[in-house]
Amino acid sequence: MRRKLVAANWKMNGSKAQTESLLNAFVAGIDAKAVDAVVFPPALYVAQVAQLLNGTGLEWGTQNVHAADNGAFTGELSLGMVKEFGCRYVLIGHSERRELFGETNADAATKVAAALNADVIPMLCVGETLQQREAGTTEAVVGEQLDAVLNEVGIEAFKRIVIAYEPVWAIGTGKTATPEQAQAVHAFIRARLAKADGDVAAQCRVLYGGSVKAANAQELFQQPDIDGGLVGGASLQADEFTAICQAAAEV
């Protein structure tokens, strides 16, 4: 039985005051015994988040990380640094990193390997653009994104990886994939892993991301291969995010 996981990706939003008010509401409104909840704030706020969430059962991480231990990489963060601030998870290969900052499948694979090596759980993001979906290449694109990581770290490592399927056309657009559309790709992802190892595939959590909100969370989370959500916009509204976590806990 895969435990549901709901993650908040705040992207480049927020402030110290907003961090405090959102987290106070999350701690009060999320049952950490019933659902795994993870917050990905902008890196500058991780120390504040660590302080506010320490001991609450809610977890946190960074939105990106560099694979190297240290060195001349201006603007980057190492896994040693994120671990020092209690991050249990890191987001890797988010579509905005891929599209806006040129990250490749090979970069994602290197970062996933480094995170595993540091004992931090990678949340690997995959997903197709609208153009790719319309061209009928969704499975080819997502398959390639997955294979790059599989080839680098091997199937066993997927026991310690969380996958987030985020169709790019559904991110920040208000246009959620239908539960059936999402389920189809989730099933494809699980089948791809199962080709390498059925037990690992059955254990690996695959989250859906892309305009998840309180109003659509339940029907998404009811799908057999959807194990939770990666939430952007709605994670900046306390009532929305806590309701999404509640929906995950109840499914």
Does 90 engage in binding with ligand 13P (CB under 6 A)?
no
Q: Give me 242's structure tokens.
A: 């806590």
Does 230 engage in binding with ligand 13P (CB under 6 A)?
yes
Whether 128 sits among the annotated catalytic residues: the reply is no
The answer to whether 112 and 153 have CB atoms below 8 angstroms apart is yes
79 or 210, CB closer to ligand 13P? 210
200 or 214, CB closer to ligand 13P? 214
Which of 62, 183, 211, 246 is close enough to bind ligand 13P by CB under 6 A? Answer: 211
Which of 61, 167, 210, 228 is close enough to bind ligand 13P by CB under 6 A? Answer: 210
- Nearest CA among 104, 87, 106 for reference residue 41: 87
Tell me the H-state helices in 118-209: 130-134, 138-153, 179-196, 198-203
Which of 5, 142, 212, 238 is close enough to bind ligand 13P by CB under 6 A? Answer: 212
Type and span of the H or E element at 17? helix 16-29
In the region spanning residues 140 to 199, those forming contacts with ligand 13P, defined by CB under 6 A, are: 166, 171-172
Whether 59 sits among the annotated catalytic residues: the reply is no
Separation between Cα atoms, residue 4 and residue 160, nearest integer Å: 15
Catalytic residue among 59, 103, 128, 166: 166
Catalytic residue among 94, 96, 103, 128: 94
Q: How far is the CB of 212 from ligand 13P (least distance, A)?
A: 5
> Please, which residues have CB within 8 angstroms of residue 142's CB and are 6 or more apart in sequence?
126, 127, 128, 165, 185, 188, 189
Query: Could you give the residue numbers annotated as active site?
Result: 94, 166
